[in-house]
Structure 1
Amino acid sequence: MHFDFKEEYILENDVVRLQPLQATDYEKLIGFSINEPELWSFNANGPDCPENLKKYIDKALSQKERQLEYPFVVFDKVRNKIAGSTRFYNINLEAKHLEIGFTWYGKEFQGTALNKNCKFLLLEFAFEKMQMERVGFRANNLNIRSINAMKSIGCIQEGILRNFSTDSKGERIDAIVLSIIKNEWFDNVKQNLKNRI
């Protein structure tokens, strides 16, 4: 499959629909910025207020235009509500690797089946349609909830990037790096994840 950044890829199953982020999604996501700014406490530049949400969406769409990222809005089909956002980023079609990140969900969607279903759809698309060889993940090394979620879907820890970035308060943070590679997906990660969703 030839991946086209201008194409509208929609990934879905019975639980979730991932649809390409649009500028008009600002209105659908604004409630999270106003009511749940703590969602982005572990990382800088989160959409923790209406102004930052506008910048966040504009930057994501600009990165898509530059063919570096492909952002999605996450729609929870069980609750019939927008739940958050996620994206492919650091996309390198030539070297066949990308990362999944910028993932966040409102509090009512955390700890549900939503995340595993999202990750299954994203990984399936990355490995089976885009023909990626490696899918990477990163998180603030203090974000234990996020790290445990990544490990639970089959990610292998690769290492720590020391003093890599900042959190929402401007404090320097270490970032953990994890990944899944193509043969792991087909050997066991896909089936294990399928069994859990």
Structure 2
Amino acid sequence: MTNSDICSTEVLLENENVLLRALELTDLEYLLPFALNEPELWYYSLHSAAGEDQMKAYIKAGVEERKNGKSYPFIVFDKKSGTYAGVTRFYDINAEFKTLLLGYTWYGKAYQGTGLNKNCKYLLFQFAFEQLQMERIEFRADAENSRSIAAMKSLGCKEEGLLRSHMPNGQGGRRDSVILSMLRGEWFTEHSSRLLEKL
């Protein structure tokens, strides 16, 4: 399996609480309210989607990266409310080494702390480890984004270290990035059943 094979496959992930499908250009109508009303969602992001033009560019870039075999962006539908909640993405996919990064994740304020993220991550871990046969899933977060780091640790991810002055921070400076990961063996022996219980 190659990166192109992974990104060209139509993926639909769902359980009783959430549905994830490939992000499309036409999803602007669902995500635009977040861009217009909750610009602070991208405070820790290098690529902000605040405002209509930036959201259009954000979606277009994600769709183009999927076509080019670089990433697989998902839009997240919250079944409890019957509304779209945000996006997440597989990126830096390396089919040869069986690794990928999971990130570019954001949810509207109304969906934060509701358990939505745990449901999404369970489905994404399950697909990556059990269907794509990945060996490692990595996360990177701004070292100052304590909420995101705590959320990843609550899923069972282990902190590995810090990349100093790793990338621009979106506010004109640079950020340190915390590296966290989960391994295939950890998923099957521990985290799959533990995370499922939390759902």
Does TM, scored on the shorter chain, surpass 0.5?
yes
Match of 1:146, as an amino acid? S
Whole-Å separation in 2 of the counterparts to 1:4 and 1:110: 29
Whole-Å separation in 2 of the counterparts to 1:13 and 1:138: 26
Whole-Å separation in 1 of the counterparts to 2:128 and 2:8: 17
Percent of aligned pairs sharing the same letter: 46
Secondary structure of the residue aligned to 1:142 is: coil
Conserved 8 A contact 1:44-1:170: no
Q: Which residue of 2 aligns with 1:14?
A: 16
TM-score by length of 1: 0.97
What is the aligned-residue RMSD (CA, Å)? 1.1
Q: Does the alignment pair 1:67 with 2:83? A: no
Whole-Å separation in 1 of the counterparts to 2:37 and 2:108: 9
Conserved 8 A contact 1:164-1:174: yes
Q: Which stretches of structure 1, 4 residues or more, deviate above 3 A after TM superposition? A: 1-4
Q: Which residue of 2 aligns with 1:49?
A: 51
Q: Which residue of 2 aligns with 1:158?
A: 160
Match of 2:79, as an amino acid? K
CA shift, 1:98, in A, is: 0.3
CA shift, 1:167, in A, is: 2.1
Conserved 8 A contact 1:135-1:179: yes
Q: Does the alignment pair 1:36 with 2:70? A: no
Secondary structure of the residue aligned to 1:85 is: strand
Deviations 1:58-99 (A, max 9, x none): 111111111110000000000100000001001011110001
Whole-Å separation in 2 of the counterparts to 1:23 and 1:16: 21
Q: Does the alignment pair 1:93 with 2:98? A: no
Number of aligned residues: 197
Secondary structure of the residue aligned to 2:8 is: coil
Deviations 1:134-170 (A, max 9, x none): 0001110000000000000000001111101122312
TM-score by length of 2: 0.96
Secondary structure of the residue aligned to 1:170 is: coil
Match of 1:33, as an amino acid? A
Whole-Å separation in 2 of the counterparts to 1:49 and 1:139: 23
Whole-Å separation in 2 of the counterparts to 1:86 and 1:112: 16
